[in-house]
Structure 1
Amino acid sequence: MTTAPIEIKEKTYTVKEWLELEKHSDIRHEYYYGKLIPMAGEAKRANILAGNIKKHLDDPLYEKGFLIYDHDVKAEVVPEGIYRYPDLVAAPIDDDEDEYIVKQPVMMAKVASEKSGFRDRVKKRKEYLNIKTMKYYLIVSQNEMWVVLHSRGSTGNWETQYLTEPEDVAELTDFGICISLADIYKRVALKSGN
């Protein structure tokens, strides 16, 4: 049995109203200061990339006291203001205040498409790097072997690495985790010419 689409009105929603709509909607919506932003469906390639990353991070993060969630779990970026659906988000195991929202993200990963690339590299990067608990933001291109890793250094400043070769490694040093681009892009058919 299919459900009727939820009608989203042009109005300013409260977080509570948005959460209730999300429980019954067939499509996900990010929340941006009362406005609902519909999320497009995910390409198979993006799903494989996110799965590869999760596979390599899941057990090592758990051993350090963290859980990693995929694209259906919301991340609180600004309390009562911005809530996003990153492709992956890691948080302490005890971040269990809310069943649907991660409130203490330490790592987020986004698989960027041609359409979302600018938004993920600029707007969301700025938002995510301002979260006090964040240590890593990983942006992965689904069209070419290209990864950007933003890491918060010991001084609190952000450092950026650009990775483009199969042997390049994204190092999440605070967690003792390294993942090569060969592992991230395993079983992914990139577009020709890339």
Structure 2
Amino acid sequence: MMKFLRENVYAAGLLVLLRIYVGWQWLDAGIHKLKDGFDAAGFLKGAIANPVADRATGELIYPTFMKFIEHAALPNVKIINIVIPLGETLVGLGLIVGGLTATAAFFGLLMNFMFLFAGTVSTNPWLILLGGIVMIAGANAGRFGLDYYLLPFLRKHVRFQRKGRGGEATPVNPIPPQAAH
């Protein structure tokens, strides 16, 4: 199944429909927040007031996430109010046009999980399932999109530093010994 998702041209065709659907969900949510205004303070305070907890014991299921909301997200709610709508919009655009598709799907999944950890079910499980399929498909999900042109360009023009066998870092653009003098 993995090989089919990651390499098959017919799977790539089906993934176009899937990523456009998921992308539209993200784009629609982000555009509404950008257009109508967005304030996450109420949502964050609600997540703190009503955390996801075990019904029998009352123990928090995600205590570290609650600490994150309380000590990082809520005090920086002005930044969150920009990052969430912009992130949703960019994830939607990336999925719709097929540009950096796997990356867009990853960040969409990250937001879905954060919303779930905060106690909001809504469409998040459905988007996690569909977005996960897109992310697992990797570059094949963007084969019929901007990734067809973008990924080869990035592979050719962006070099990543890798470790050599001895553990030492190898230079990205090594200078030949004769040119160093």
Instruction: Tell me the TM-score normalized by structure 2.
Output: 0.25
Q: Decide which structure has the larger Cα Rg and report it.
A: 2
Q: Give the number of the structure whose residues are more often strand, by fraction.
A: 1
